[in-house]
Every structure is written in structure tokens, then in C-alpha cells.
Structure 1
Amino acid sequence: MKQRWLPGLFLLLLTATGCASARVLAPAPTLYSAENPYPEDRIPDSLRLPEAKIIFATDRVWNESTATFAPARSRAMTAGEVTIRIGQETSWDSLVGLASGDNPSGRRPSLIMDSVRTQTVFPATPIPYRLEGGVVIEDAEIFSAYNASIEAFQSMVTQRLRQGNTDTVLFYVHGFNNGFDDAAFDLTDIWHYSGRGSVPVVFSWPTVEGNLLGYFSARESGEFSIFHLKEVLRALQEIPELETINILAHSRGVDVTTTAIRELIIEARGTGRPLRDVMKLDNLILAAADIDVAVASQRLAAERFALAVGHITIYANPGDGALRLSSLVSSGLRVGRSTSASYEESFGAAFLGIDSIVFVDVSGLSGNLGHNYFRLNPGVIADIATILQTGAGPRDPARGLIPVGGNFYELVE
């Protein structure tokens, strides 16, 4: 029997409240002080709350017992909103003070996944079709339902743009061995400390528990998600009120993200319009990138990413233990472990003359420099926040970067 799609019936199909998942808010960045206070004056009153409402899209299966999206893949995307509460009784004033390092107790509030509400469930892909004279004819009913889901997602984003008085989206793609909860918490950290000047959107592709076999399966799991990620990015690009998309990708999420962007760039070339106008990508921030350096060189340089993205910032730490293991497994240096010496050897002159592509070595910082340093190291958080707030380039004094040579810089205390 032919399945009938009625997206409106799915509006509140998956609603979880009081979820048990929790984590601690990231440490305050080394950015705010009495001279440079947290920019709350630019934040609408509606966002001055100890919480983050994050729009999500995922192609994973909802798990009722854990009240979250599990690693099992789904051909049907789900989009909605997850609310992250910051602390049990945290006030806005104390949260602002905490951002500036005013934390005498040394304690940081918890991040609690308070609720997950589904806005729409897409029909499964691929949409059934037939060929007539070499022309693709898709199932009209399912195609219409799929478009209705796209419009529901776009409407949700548009509403949030208006509420936040912004034209910018901060888009996050997580890495291997990260769950849906982790992704929402990660984005909460970065969105809050960067001044809440955007609508936070996460694309989540949760993977199995971290082990060697799980790592290999995660590579294919990421490949499975590329089509859906492209659909989400394309839907964002088509929103008239949205002018700027800033993307932050971490670890294996870098490969998934850059593959999707590469395919969208190829598609955009056929429109005859400037790539920047089509893509709307201002910043692409790649942290602890788990991708082979030669692949990255071809993808970023040979595919002319610089024509489609305003600024590309690649954070690297040669001491990243997780990427050291990945290098052994993959038999190739990972971009996230690059040094100025390996940069010269691996990339050569590929990026010379392209000032918009910048490598930043963070190994000279003190504090947490594990695989998740992009959200746990106050210096890295500060640099990301500066980029998102001001668009400062690598030689801007606000960044405090030290030129090493070519497109390589060091971030120090």
C-alpha cells in the first residue's frame, strides 16, 4: 500500500523533557574583561536567559529509552529544537560575570538538555522516481511532502533570525564518538561565549562508542550523512533573511563538512552567480581536523574553496593524541596535527597568495589541549569568538597571532 506523508502530524511526535544528560559549561575565554566586557548590550532581551535554544537536523533514529538520537542511521531526517539549560538556578547576571572570569567559587554551571522538540520529520531519501525520456520524474506526493519539510525547517530558522535581530547562522558539525547531546552542548559553549549574535544550528550524526572498529564504521556513517548535510545547507542558503553562514566543524566532522561544501560548490558553479552569493559562507572554522593533508590540499585548494568561503581557519595541535592514533590507522598525517614544517612539506605553495586560508598552531597555549581544545581551552575559545564577532583576520592585533611563515600562525598566551 502506498504510504501517505502528512508532515503536519509529526509536529510534536518526538518530545522529551527533563532529560538526564548534563555537562559543565566550558571555561570562560581569555577575551572579556572590564575593558572589553561580554557584549550583552548587543543581545536582544529575549536571548538574555541562562539557556540556549538550538535548531537541529539529524539523520539518526530517536531512542525513547535514552530520550535522544541514537547512532542508528535513518533515511528520514528529523529537524527541530533542543533546549539546553545553563545551571539549575543560574541568573543572567552571574552568567555574564562568569564569561568575564568573575568566578570566585571556581565552579561552572552544568549544561542540561532540558527538552527536544521535533518540528518536522522528512520523508525518507532517496525519493522514489522513474525515468521518462531521460527525465527524472519523482513521486509527486512524496516530493511535495519533502518540500513541505524543507519549508518547515526554513520557517523555524527565519522565525529565530527575526527574534534574535540577526541575519547570521552559526552552524556546527561534530566529530566521531560524539552523541546528539554532545553536539548540542558543544554549540551552546561556542554560541554563548561568542556573544549570541547568531542563530545556532547543529547537524548531528551520532556514531557508535569509540573503538577501532567503531572508527572505521564512523567513516562510512559520515559518508551516509553527506547528502542530508547538503540538503540542510542548501535550505539555509535559500532563506532570504539569512545573509551569513558561519560553520564550525570538529574532527571527523571536518571531512563530512568539506565534502558537502565541495559538492555544493560544484553545483553552484552551474548557476552563473558568484559563489559567495550562492553559498553565503563567511567563516569556515575547522578544529582538530581528522582529514588527510593531501586530501585537504586537493579539496580546499584545487577545488577553489577560497572563491566560495570568505575565511577558512584551521586549528592544529601537533600533540593531539586522538589524531596521532588516527594518523597511525590511516597511514597519513592529519591536518589537525600540522606544524609549520609539515605544512611546508605537505602543502607547499598550494595556499600561498590565499590570505583567507589560515593555519593556527595552538600548541603554545597553556590549559586543556586535548582533542576538544576548541571548546575547552580559553585561548582558543577567545580566538573563535573574536573571529565570529569581528571577522578579524590573522594579522589583526585583536587575534594576537604570531606569523610563522606562509599561511601558518601560532596562537600564544
Structure 2
Amino acid sequence: MRFCFAQLFPAVLLLASCAGNPQGVLLPLTGGVVVEGASTVDMLVATTREAMEDPSFLYSGERGPDLSLIDMQISIPPASARKVGEVQWPKRLPPNPAKEFATLQAEPLNVSESRVWLKEHLGPSRHVLVFVHGFNNRFEDSVFRFAQIVHDSGAQVAPILFTWPSRASVFDYNYDKESTNYSRDALEELLKAVANSKDVSEVTVMAHSMGTWLAVESLRQMTIRDGRIAPKIKNVILASPDIDIDVFRKQWQQFGDQKPKFTVFVSADDKALAISRLISGNRGRLGAVNPAEEPYKTEFERAGIDVVDLTKIDGADYLNHSKFAQSPQVVQLLGQRLINGQTMTDSRLGVGESIGAVAVGATQIVGHTASAAISIPIAVVDPETRRNLPGQFEAATSATSATLGAALPD
């Protein structure tokens, strides 16, 4: 595939302007505001960002000397006032909790207090979700987005956000990338502390975009130090991973034999990853591969990695880079299956049933071919499904290749 900067330049401008939401939204509402129908997401936030004196911002995009911990409560407006997959940003301050996201609490914690928080917020499943955001995120961006994911997915988990120093500018791509490297030790320590807690039964790590590099590198470091990834880390979800494909192969090899279950969300129309590829010497990104093509098809199958192709799912923004969080079907599927420890390719389900929540949105628009383009990558990497549906597999794989081939630029 050839990339032309002139074609990507509008996307660069959009990236540069996508942080145009109101700023300074994190000052907690006063007076104990209660809105009928509103929901509250209580999360533990761990950050390597530099603290700010202004309580409306809390943390900047610069690098802090130590890992900071904070208990944050975010109010989500009633269902009648919002669409699933969207963050309703305040139009003015203070926010209106009847229509907009609002901060209810932002309380710094020490390590001992964070252990108490974790114990108190574990549900019956004792399952923890650790989320790592991506490139070009302010502190408040990551907090509100994670609150939206937790709420809309309906996942019964104790939510922990790991947010690293991002200057929230497309022109600071290299600074952000080095900030992920700066934060590797801190994320590794956080994951080990959570996994070593006697109160926790299972940990899912979910990362997006450049945050997937940080997550995978931290797990690789854990393997090098301890000889394996902590056994309680059962599930790793990489959404739109901004990782060089060749580098990921090497990272994967270093994980050894005892690996968590990996699920990768890819999309061939991800414009942010197209820009990343251009910046990175025209090296392919893991989140933009076509899993029906070789060598990826065989490699994913042999590795046991589940791949979910979101190419035919409509994105909520021009970049098509956050479909996993913005698509109502996908974010609810995350909560129903992936975050709760099940895979997309559970052998008890057929292809259509396992991916049905995703496929329905596209098939209503463009018909049967889109359904094949979404569901068959699951069959490609799931040996059980391939054995059960050999004829359908071959036919749909051809349809998928033709559909994606016609959609991709040369």
C-alpha cells in the first residue's frame, strides 16, 4: 500500500484540533448534586503525569517524578440525555450533570488507601480492569473516556485507569512515545501490585493506540524480571494497536509459553494509524492489518490471538481510531464478553452468534458482504470455527479479501 502525505494532511489537521473540548472540567461539583437517572463511575487513577496546583486540571502532560494515585468519581448523565459510546462534554462550567459528564470527587490516595479502595470496589467476580489510553490525550480526556467505557460496557469490574504523560498535540508524537517508555516501570509495578492482591481473582488489561505499546512493553518487562506474566492477568485487549508489526512479533516471542489471552481490534480504515505508519518509516502497524491475508492469518492462528476486524463498523469520527469505545455495539460486546473474561470465539458459539452484536450494525447498511468482512476474521484465527465451517470459511474469506481490496487505496 502506498501512502501520500497530501492525502493524509487533512487527517493531521483534524488530529491537531481534536482536543478542542472545554478544558478545566475536573473541579468537583459542590453541594452534593444528585440528578435522577444519572450514574456514577468510581475509578482509581494511577498516573505518571506531573501534578498541577489547579484542581480543575489536576495533572498536566509533563512527566511527574513518581506514580500518583487518586480516587475519582464521574457522573454520567441519564440515558435520555446521551448516546451510548459518546462523552457528553460540558459546554460551559460548571457542567450540568443532567446533560453532561461531571466530576463528583477527586481525592488523592496513598498506597495503603489505594489497597482499601481496591478491596471495597471489587464485586462478586473480584475482577479488575486496567485501562491504558492512547496518543494525544489530556488527563481529563482519559478520565472521561474511561468512565464512558466502564459505564457503557456494563462490565462488572473494579476500574483502574493508568494515564501517562501526553501533551495532547499531534505535533508531539515523539514526546508521547518517549513518555510511554518513561512509564513502563510504573505500569509494570501497578499490574504486579493488583495481580498480587489476595482480594483479586482476575485482571484484564485493555489498552488503546499508543497505550498498547506501553502495555505490551510493561508485560514484556514483567516476563523478563519474573520469568512470566502474573497468572492473574488472564486477558489482554489491544484496541487499534500502534505497534510496529515486526516489533510485536519479537515482543510476543519473549512472553514465553504462559501467556494471557490476547484479543486485537483492527481496522483497515484507521487514518490515525496510517499517519503513524508514515511517521514510522512506512512500517505497518498491528492495528491496521488485514487478518484474512497472509502472513497474518497463519501467524494469528498459530499464536492463538483473537482478531476482531472493525473495518466495516462506522466510526464516530473522521479518523476511525476509537471504534472500540464509540460504537454502541462494540463497547457493549466488550462488557458482555471480553472484559468479563470470555473470548469472541467461545467454542460454544457459532461465528454469527459470537460476533452478532457487532455485525448487525453493518449488515443493516451494506448487506451480507459486510457481515462476512466482520465475522470471518474471527473464523480465521479460531481453529475450532475453521474446522466446523470449512466451506463457509473459504467462500467468505474470498468475499472478505475482495471487499477490503476494493476499499483500500493503492
Tell me the TM-score normalized by structure 2: 0.70
Q: 2:354 aligns with which of 398, 403, 408?
A: 398
The residue that corresponds to 2:272 in the other structure is 322
Indicate the SS of the match to 2:108: strand
- CA distance 1:220–1:230, change in 2 (3 Å): same
Alpha-carbon distance between aligned partners in 2 of 1:348 and 1:361, rounded to the nearest angstrom? 12
Alpha-carbon distance between aligned partners in 2 of 1:98 and 1:208, rounded to the nearest angstrom? 28
The residue that corresponds to 1:253 in the other structure is 211
Amino acid at match of 2:381: N
Shift of 1:114: 2.9
CA contact (8 A) 2:47 2:163 kept: yes
Shift of 1:18: 3.2
Alpha-carbon distance between aligned partners in 1 of 2:224 and 2:189, rounded to the nearest angstrom? 14
The residue that corresponds to 1:55 in the other structure is 44
Q: 1:110 aligns with which of 54, 78, 100?
A: 100
The residue that corresponds to 1:191 in the other structure is 150
Q: 2:164 aligns with which of 205, 212, 216?
A: 205
The residue that corresponds to 2:67 in the other structure is 77
- After superposition, where does 1:293-308 map in structure 2 within 5 Å? 293-300=245-252, 302-304=253-255, 307-308=258-259
The residue that corresponds to 2:133 in the other structure is 174
Indicate the SS of the match to 1:158: helix
CA contact (8 A) 1:60 1:205 kept: yes
Deviations 1:47-93 (A, max 9, x none): x9611111011111222234321011111111121111112xx3xxx
Amino acid at match of 2:156: G
Shift of 1:110: 2.1
CA contact (8 A) 1:58 1:79 kept: yes
- For structure 2, the residue ranges without an aligned partner over 5 or more in a row are 1-25, 31-36, 86-97, 357-373, 383-396, 404-410
Indicate the SS of the match to 2:302: coil
The residue that corresponds to 1:338 in the other structure is 289
Alpha-carbon distance between aligned partners in 2 of 1:17 and 1:96, rounded to the nearest angstrom? 21
The residue that corresponds to 1:156 in the other structure is 117
Alpha-carbon distance between aligned partners in 2 of 1:113 and 1:394, rounded to the nearest angstrom? 38
CA contact (8 A) 1:57 1:204 kept: yes
Q: 2:28 aligns with which of 17, 21, 26?
A: 17
The residue that corresponds to 1:64 in the other structure is 53
Indicate the SS of the match to 1:209: coil
Shift of 1:367: 4.5
- CA distance 1:279–1:184, change in 2 (3 Å): farther
CA contact (8 A) 2:235 2:341 kept: no
Shift of 1:385: 2.0
Deviations 1:23-63 (A, max 9, x none): xxxxxxxxxxxxxxxxxxxxxxxxx9611111011111222
Amino acid at match of 2:186: H
Which protein is richer in helix relative to its size? 2
The residue that corresponds to 2:309 in the other structure is 361
CA contact (8 A) 1:177 1:206 kept: no
Shift of 1:96: 12
- After superposition, where does 1:382-393 map in structure 2 within 5 Å? 382-386=332-336, 387-389=338-340, 391-393=342-344
Identity %: 23
- For structure 1, the residue ranges without an aligned partner over 5 or more in a row are 1-14, 20-47, 101-107, 121-148, 270-274
Pair 1:350-2:308 in alignment: no
- Give RMSD over aligned pairs: 2.9
Alpha-carbon distance between aligned partners in 2 of 1:63 and 1:171, rounded to the nearest angstrom? 24
* Number of residue pairs the alignment of both structures matches: 314
Alpha-carbon distance between aligned partners in 1 of 2:232 and 2:276, rounded to the nearest angstrom? 32
CA contact (8 A) 2:237 2:262 kept: yes
- CA distance 1:209–1:187, change in 2 (3 Å): closer
Alpha-carbon distance between aligned partners in 1 of 2:341 and 2:184, rounded to the nearest angstrom? 30
Alpha-carbon distance between aligned partners in 1 of 2:256 and 2:324, rounded to the nearest angstrom? 22
Indicate the SS of the match to 2:154: coil
Amino acid at match of 1:176: F
Shift of 1:206: 3.3
- CA distance 1:117–1:317, change in 2 (3 Å): same
